[in-house]
Amino acid sequence: MYSDIADQFSSRQRDTVVETAFDCNTEIFSGVARFVELNLQTVKTSLSEQQALADAALSAQSLSEVIDLQSQRFPAAIKKSFAYWRHVEDIAAQTRIGLFTAMQSHFDNSLNTFTDIVETASAETVAQEQSAESSLLVTSEPVVAAAEQVAIVDSSGKVVSSGDGHSDLH
């Protein structure tokens, strides 16, 4: 009886673990894909900005114009850097939420499985106890053997006590 329940539990648990691992891997790969997409977009934007900056530097009339281009670019680069890291944090937060959701689903399923198994085991135990009680049939009173009188003797063989009454042992 109990091995059937254990087999049922292990197969359900194995299925749940496989599903959870698949869900977690899906969330992780989704996060990695979004991170790669962000990096590709950042590289494309950076290359186009560098191209525009190089064209502006080549068309500059003096060295002071080139220096002005670089000094104007610095505050924008800081803003872009902060924006990049905000996107990275958003991706990490979304991935973390997805992982926690998958794990919560796994624990909920495990708890439901455990509850089902406990209910099944208790129902089977109650059914087994009821069938054991109903199969026991007493047809007569138990036979009690007659008690024999026993005498206590000392080392010389003299009777110290007999079974017919209490005696003082002091």
Q: Apex CA 40: angle with CA 35 and CA 44, to 5°? A: 150
Question: pTM for the full model?
Answer: 0.57
A 10 A CB-CB count for 144 gives 6
Q: Tens-digit pLDDT profile for the chain (170 aa)?
A: 556 656 666 776 777 778 888 888 999 999 999 999 999 999 999 999 999 988 888 888 888 888 888 888 888 899 999 999 999 999 999 999 999 988 888 888 778 877 887 888 788 777 777 765 555 555 666 666 666 677 777 878 888 876 555 555 54
For residue 103, what is the enclosing H or E element? Answer: helix 63-135
For residue 152, what is the enclosing H or E element? Answer: strand 152-153
**Nearest one of 45, 40, 32 to 80, comparing CA atoms:** 45
Helices 2-58 and 63-135 cross at an angle (nearest 10°) of: 170
One-letter amino acid identity for 63?
L
Q: Apex CA 101: angle with CA 100 and CA 102, to 5°? A: 90
Domain ranges of the chain: 2-135
The strand pair at 159-161 and 152-153 is best described as antiparallel
Instruction: Tokens 């007493």: give the residue.
Output: 138
Contact 95, 25 (CB under 8 A): no
